[in-house]
A and B are shown apart, each in its own frame.
Chain A
Amino acid sequence: MSEADGIRKYDPEFTKRVYQMDNGRWVKKCMQCGICPTTCTLKGMMDHSPRRIIQLIRAGAKDEVLNSNTMWLCTSCYTCACRCPRGVPMMDIMHDLCHLAEEEGIKNNKALMSKVFYNDVANRGRVWEGGLTLKYGLKLGIGNALKLAREMQDVGMEMFKHKRIPIIPAKGIKNPSKLRAIVDKATALAKEEG
Chain B
Amino acid sequence: MKYSYYPGCASEGTGAANYYAFLAVAKALGIELEEIEDWNCCGATVASSVIGEFPAQVVAARNLALAAKKPNDIITACSSCYAILGLANRKFAEEKFKEKANIALKEDGLAYNGNLNVRFILDVLANDIGTEKIAAAVKKPLTGLKVAGYVGCQSVKALYKEYDDPEYPSAMDKVIAALGGQPVDFENRSKCCTGSMALSAPDITITAVHPIIEGAAKAGADIIVTPCPLCQMNLDVYQGKANKQFGTNYQLPVLFITQLMALAYGLSNDLGLKYCVVSPKQKLASWL
Contact = CB atoms under 8 A, between A and B. Distances in A.
Given A42-B194, A152-B202, A155-B240, A182 B13 contact: no
B285 interface: no
Nearest to A125: B40
Nearest to A148: B202
A138 B88 CA distance: 32
A133 B13 CA distance: 12
Interface string B99-112: 01101111111000
A29 B142 CA distance: 49
A182 to B, nearest CB: 5
Interface residues of B, number: 64
A118 B51 CA distance: 9
A127 to B, nearest CB: 4
Interface in B50-99: 50-55, 58-59, 62, 83
A183 B62 CA distance: 10
A132 B58 CA distance: 23
A164 B232 CA distance: 11
B154 A95 contact: no
Nearest to B192: A77
Contacts of A174: 38
B43 A45 contact: no
A124 B117 CA distance: 27
Interface stretch (A8-16, A30-38, A53-61, A106-114): A106-114
Interface in A1-56: 21-23, 41-42, 45
Contacts of A66: none
Given A170-B12, A182-B62, A81 B157 contact: yes
Interface string A112-135: 111101101100011111101100
B274 A162 contact: yes
B47 A121 contact: yes
Given A79-B157, A129-B14, A164-B233, A114 B199 contact: no
B53 A121 contact: no
B65 to A, nearest CB: 10
Given A76-B45, A95-B45, A178 B83 contact: no
Given A165-B13, A173-B40, A136 B53 contact: no
Interface of A: 21-23, 41-42, 45, 73, 75-79, 81-82, 91-92, 95-96, 98-99, 102, 109-115, 117-118, 120-121, 125-130, 132-133, 136, 148, 151-152, 154-155, 158-159, 162-166, 170, 173-175, 178-179, 181-187, 189-190
18 contacts: A42-B208, A77-B153, A77-B195, A79-B153, A99-B52, A99-B53, A125-B40, A125-B41, A136-B199, A154-B241, A155-B240, A164-B275, A178-B109, A179-B108, A182-B58, A183-B55, A183-B104, A190-B55
